[in-house]
Amino acid sequence: MIIRKILNNNVVVIGGDEEREQILMGSGIAFGKKVGDFVAKKNIEKTFSLTSSDISGKFQEFISEIPMESMEISDEIISLAKSKLGKRLNDSIYISLTDHLHAAIERFQSGIVVKNVMLWDIKRFFADEFEIGLMALDIVKRQFDIKLPQDEAGFIALHIVNAEMDEAVDNMYEITRIMQEITNIVKYHFKVTFDEDSVYFYRFVTHLKFFAQRLVNHSVYSDMSDDDLLEVIKTKYTDAYDCVQKIGRFIAEKYDYVISNEEKLYLTIHIARVILKNKT
């Protein structure tokens, strides 16, 4: 493997042109080397092969300024997330999560703790990702001998959800807030406490996540559903549809977004199911 670019003493780039670029990490991997020299496999500790050339370029610029230890724990957390969730994660997480972890560790070591105001809702809506966030805190403790607060597990969870949905992290805060607002409307409309361990709540939350994403991005879901089906659903699940109408008025007033009939149809079904589960 021939070095194409040296980013720092521990990071080099190989490939390019006809073959995909790869970023190689290893302690002192570039020591005494120059472009065109060979890299021995025994010196390679981590290999990154990013699918997007744009992300790869940003990652190369970014990684040259980040300590190797921060990159290593970020890579371990991302690998853990992929394994546990079984989902594709956008390559941008290698930049966003690493940057966040590096800053969080520096802040904590300086005695600065940032509160996560959405922590409770992140725990509820993204339970699997939050569990990985908690595991990530253990990884940080093992590497740096510091115990970051649970607030950071919530931040890490949002970075993972962001990578699942190809969203900006700032958008994930808004998506989570919209999910919380709609859930509260349903909760108080029916005067219920959700069984958050039920499969119906999981499906409801999953639908809300993508509904909120469409709202934030000002896109409309449409699969050309028959309007007659909505009429059937309105009649069968009157209370749930009334709740959806209430949600629609709230969303229109606060976000200037009109819920389509297709959205109303699926929201009504999910709400009816999750409420039925809470009554049985």
Q: Report pLDDT for 18.
A: 61
Hey, is 99 helix, strand or coil? Answer: helix
198 versus 20: which is more confidently predicted?
A: 198
Tell me what the mean pLDDT of segment 262-280 comes to.
86
Q: Domain 1-54 falls in which CATH fold? A: Transcription Regulation, Sacy; Chain A (2.30.24)
Cα(256)–Cα(248) distance, integer angstroms? 10
Whether the Cβ atoms of residue 10 and residue 27 lie closer than 8 Å to each other: yes
| pTM of the predicted structure, to 2 decimals | 0.80
The yes-or-no verdict on residue 33 having pLDDT over 90 is no
* Range(s) within the chain of domains with CATH label 1.10.1790.10: 66-166, 170-279
Return the CATH fold of 170-279.
PTS-regulatory domain, PRD (1.10.1790)
| Residue 231: Cβ within 10 Å count | 12
> pLDDT tens-digit profile of 171-211?
889 999 999 999 999 999 999 989 888 888 989 999 999 99
| Average pLDDT value for residue range 49-63 | 76
Residue 151, pLDDT above cutoff 80: yes
Q: Tell me what pLDDT residue 226 has.
A: 62
Tens of pLDDT, residues 242-260: 999 999 999 999 999 999 8
Mean of pLDDT values over 87-115: 90
Please, what is the average pLDDT of the chain?
A: 88
Tell me what pLDDT residue 223 has. Answer: 55
Candidate ranges 46-50, 140-144, 194-198; pick with highest mean pLDDT: 140-144
Q: Where are the CATH 2.30.24.10 domain residues in the chain?
A: 1-54
Q: How is residue 41 annotated by DSSP?
A: G
pLDDT at 113: 85
pLDDT, residue 197, reads 85
204 neighbors 198 (Cβ within 8 angstroms): no
pLDDT band at 69 (very low <50, low <70, confident <90, very high): confident
Q: Specify the pLDDT at position 222.
A: 61
One CATH from 3.40.50.720, 3.40.50.300, 3.40.50.261, 1.10.1790.10 for 66-166 = 1.10.1790.10
- For 105-139, the pLDDT digits (tens) are 999 999 998 899 899 999 999 999 999 999 999 99
User: For the range 20-26, what are the long-range contacts, defined as Cβ-Cβ under 8 Å and sequence gap of 24 or more?
Assistant: 20/49, 21/49, 21/50, 21/53, 21/56, 22/47, 22/48, 22/49, 23/47, 23/48, 23/49, 23/50, 23/56, 23/59, 23/60, 23/63, 24/48, 25/63, 25/68, 25/71, 25/72
Does the structure show a pLDDT above 80 at 169? no
Lowest mean pLDDT among 94-103, 154-163, 220-229: 220-229
Q: Residue 155 is inside which H or E element, if any? A: helix 150-165
pLDDT of residue 140: 96
- Name the more confident of 156 and 220: 156
Q: Tell me the percentage of the chain whose pLDDT exceeds 70.
A: 94
